[in-house]
Every structure is written in C-alpha cells, then in structure tokens.
Structure 1
Amino acid sequence: MSGSKGKILVVDDDRLVLATLSYGLSQAGFEVIDADNGDDAILLAREHRPELALLDIRMEGMSGFDVAAYLREYLQIPFMFLSAFADEQTVAKVKELGAVAYLVKPLDIQQIVPAVEAAFANRRAPPPPLPAREAIGAGATVLQQLVPMAVGVLMHRYSLSRSEALQRLQQSAEDEGRSLAEQAQRLVEAVELLAQPGRL
C-alpha cells in the first residue's frame, strides 16, 4: 500500500475493539495488520515489520508487556499501549518499557488517530545533531515520553478527556513554574512512589 501513512500492528483480544481500531486506522490512511493475541502479534511483526505497534496490555496468554519487550529487544519497533488500566504498577511498567504513548480506554478512534499520527511524526523527525544530544543527555527524550503517560493518569484519575487532562497538566506546570515535561515527570514519579510496598 504505497500511499499509506505508515504500517501499524494493532493487538487486542477484544474482537470488537480490534475491528473498530483496525477500521478507523485504515480509514485514516494507515496500513493495518491486526492480531487478537500476543503470539500472533509477534509472528506478524516479524513477517511485516510494522513501523509502530498499538498494544492492549491485559490479554490471555502473552500480555501486551511481553509483546512490547520482544518488539523492543529483537525488532526495534516502537509501541504504544491502549489499556483500561492506569494503576500505579501498570504506569511504572509502561515507563520502564519505554512506550511512545499510553492511551487509557475507553477511547474513540478520533482520539487514537492523532496519537498514532504524532508517534509516526516523532519517529520520522530527524534526530538533533549529536553534540546537542550529548549536552542535554538522553534524559530529555525520556522526559518528553512521560507527557502522554501523565495525561493518561490524569484522564483515569479524574475521568477527563485527553484535551482536559493535557490542559490540567499544562496549568499545573505553569502554576509551579516548570516545563510540561518536568511536571509530567513529577506526576509519574509520585504515582510510582505510591506503588511501592508499604506506601498504601
């Protein structure tokens, strides 16, 4: 499919969700490969080499985390998570694996398409010159990745839409004189702290 915006692997064990995502992303111009379990997802990823994977986290058999770890280690394919869960342990694991985004269900396709497009745009953006990268360190990129995660946490905690959650994060960053990425880091670290044994 030469005119597509990119090739994406979509994995969800709920057939209805899978069909909805696949259809919506196809309509938005992406070439979609879909799987309803982790084993098939890995086989398809090896065969088709998608540019991005959209993974449900909790599935029978291999979890989305298992698939993500494989994609990262063996195929170097970036991934984003789609999950109904935003508990502390899940968020910590998402961060540890290095997902490009974390979307909290329920979501409609109008919210997912922009997130996918942003992930493709970031992936294709040329990296900054090496001296600049060394000066700021790899931490800056990691910080940027925390913003969608922090937005996902706020959406889940306060039942907000994605734009409302982002607005709340921007406002709190402004109020405290921090950058958006720094504020996102503080929020995610606070969530991780709560997840530690003996803290609850």
Structure 2
Amino acid sequence: MSVPASSRRLILLVDDDTLLLDYIATVLRHAGYDTVGASSAADALQRIAEREGAPQEPGFALALLDITMPGMSGLDLARRLKDHTEVPFMFLSSVDDAETARQAASHGAVGFVVKPVDASRLLPAFEAGLARADEIRQLRSTEANLNAALAAGRETSLAVGLLMARYRTDRITAFEVLRDHARASRRKINEVAEQLVAAEELLNSLHGAFTARLRGK
C-alpha cells in the first residue's frame, strides 16, 4: 500500500557517488519516503536553505551524509547542520571501526551506515536513526513548552517542583504528567497546577495541626 504524498517524510541524501545516491533514493522511496539528492556539502546547504526559504514546503526529517567527500567533508557539514539548522543527520562511511563511530557520535549523529550499502542493512539502520531524531525533536519541543509554561505561571513551576520531589522524577517527566492530566480533564495546565499547590499547602497545614495536637497530649 502506497503512503499518501502529504504524509511522506523528506530525506536529504548527500554523497558524491551518484550511483550510490540513486540506489539509496530508490530504496527509501520504495519504503515510503521522499528524497532530495545533493552531490556535495555545498549543494546540501543550498537545498536546506531553499527549504527554509519556503515555509510552505516540508522540511527535511533527516539527512544522510557521506563522511568522505571532496571539498567540505561530511563531518564538516555535520558541524554546520548542528550549529545552524534543526536538521538531524546520520553518516555513511566506507570505514567500520570504533574511531569512526566515535567521531560520528561526537558530532551528534543519530545513526551510522557502513558501505557497501544494501537494502537489508540500510533500512533498519535508517529507521532507527529516524526514530532517534524524532525523539530528540520531541524532547526539544517538550523542553521549549516547559520553559514557556514555567515562565508564564508561578503555580506551574511550583507544581512541577512538587511532583519532582514527591515522585523523585526529572523536570520534563513531571511537566509531561501535569500537562497530560490537564489535557485529559480539559483544563488549563495552570488551573491544575493551582489546585495541586493548594492541596499541598492544605496538607502541610494539616500536618502542622496534627503535630501540634500530638505534642499537646
């Protein structure tokens, strides 16, 4: 069954080997992805700039970069993508060793594919990298929403802190639980946070009253 064009993810393929570029594009298209090819790092940056200048067009969900290319290498291109764009990337390499994998990870790659490329190895590695890219994208979105919510409301900040302390969890998890509860009850997150803070204050007050009474006995 074909994937509707409106829901197909767009992948940027960067390699100076045009035959390999065509092969990978064919494999990914058959798997339900759209692709844009670039034969150099400069060409890739141009493709990204064109997409950024056309907001109505879908952006790249992932870039697959050959490490060894004439001119700007895949590693140098990765630095540019990491510093100046939101495009996640993974690497293609003809070298399969620990040092190359370490360099890929240190540059922020979400995956690594070793040449020669065949469909049976490419697709699992590619889809794992894309899943990792989506996780990072979601984490950034949640972090941005959390910072906005904390800046907008004192109660939300206090409520997140209370949940962190009570359930010994991290800030993002506490915020996500609070947000999901607010959505499920069709209420604003700040309203739920106010109720939680009020309940905590009441419990603290009752705790003080019980303590005073016990001491008086």
Q: Judging by fraction of residues, say which structure has more helix.
A: 2
Verify the 8 A CA contact 1:8 1:54 in the aligned structure 2: yes
Verify the 8 A CA contact 1:26 1:32 in the aligned structure 2: yes
Match of 1:16 in 2: 19
Q: Does 1:100 align with 2:103?
A: no
Alignment of 1:107-186 (within 5 A): 107-125=117-135, 126-127=138-139, 132-133=169-170
- Kindly provide the CA deviation profile for residues 110-145 of structure 1, in whole angstroms up to 9, marking residues without a partner as x: 21122222222333345489864569xxxxxxxxxx
Q: Pick from 17, 27, 30: which aligns with 1:27?
A: 30
Q: Which amino acid aligns with 1:103?
A: V
SS at match of 1:2: helix
Match of 2:49 in 1: 46
SS at match of 1:40: helix
Count of equivalent residues: 135
TM-score, normalised by the number of residues in structure 2: 0.55
Q: Does 1:66 align with 2:76?
A: yes
SS at match of 2:7: coil
RMSD: 2.5
- Against the structure 1 CA distance between its residues 92 and 29, is the aligned structure 2 distance closer, same or farther, given a 3 Å change threshold? same
Q: Pick from 6, 9, 12: which aligns with 1:2?
A: 6
1:100 to partner: Cα distance: 0.4
1:87 to partner: Cα distance: 4.3
- Against the structure 1 CA distance between its residues 133 and 111, is the aligned structure 2 distance closer, same or farther, given a 3 Å change threshold? farther
Which sections of structure 2, spanning at least 5 residues, go unmatched? 52-58, 147-163, 173-217
State the structure with bigger RCO (CA 8 A, min sep 6), 1 or 2.
Answer: 1
Q: Percent identity?
A: 38
Q: Which amino acid aligns with 2:6?
A: S
Higher Rg: 2
SS at match of 1:77: coil
TM-score, normalised by the number of residues in structure 1: 0.60
1:86 to partner: Cα distance: 3.0
